[in-house]
Structure 1
Amino acid sequence: MDIGSAIAIYFLIWWIGLFAVLPWGVRSQHEAGEVVPGTDPGAPATPRLLRIVIINTIFATVIFVAFYWVYTRHLISLDDIPFLP
């Protein structure tokens, strides 16, 4: 696998994983009972974005390593994937 392809695949895994990890552990202002005037009650009280980014990076790295291992060992080929006629 070319280094450019590996970086692109890792970025895609990281970006898609971000949307899965983003809501983990976030409490809304309504749930916290501290709604700031002029903001949506569903807005996060404390977003903790650095924690989300770190968790997502670990998640994406594990998924990418598993993908790379399967790809380099040729464990799954296009012939193994069933296509609908």
Structure 2
Amino acid sequence: MKITSIIAIYALFWVMTAFLLLPFGVKTHDEAGVAKIPGQADSAPANFRPGKLALRATLIATALTALYVANYLNGWITAADIVLFTPPPELERPAG
């Protein structure tokens, strides 16, 4: 596997993880008991910390990428192992 492929997979895992982590640990101003600024949306976060989010996403994406590369090199799970549906029986042709 090329290093550019690993970087691209890491970037995909990082973005996916960051979006999945966005709603966790965030409170609105009403939940946190903080006064709102006039014109502010009721759903605006009061304690959004992008640095903490980026750190968590980095750690999780690093672990997921390491697992992905290890699986690629060792072949623990292949496409043949993931069968969602059984293949239909083959159609038999009549003799003659």
Aligned residue in 1 for 2:75? 74
1:9 maps to 9
Shift of 1:6: 0.7
Structure 1 runs of 4+ with >4 Å offset: none
Show CA shifts across 1:15-56 (max 9, x none): 011111112211111212322111101101121110110011
SS at match of 1:19: helix
Structure 2 gap ranges (5+):
88-96
Find the residue that maps to 1:10 and give its secondary structure: helix
Name the structure 1 match of 2:63.
62
Identity among equivalent positions (%) equals 36
| Corresponding position of 2:90 | none
- Structure that is richer in helix per residue: 1
Distance in 1, matches of 2:79 and 2:14, equals 24
The CA RMSD over aligned residues, in Å, is 1.3
Structure 1 gaps, min length 5: none
The aligned residue for residue 29 of structure 2 is 29
- How far has the Cα of 1:64 moved from its partner? 1.0
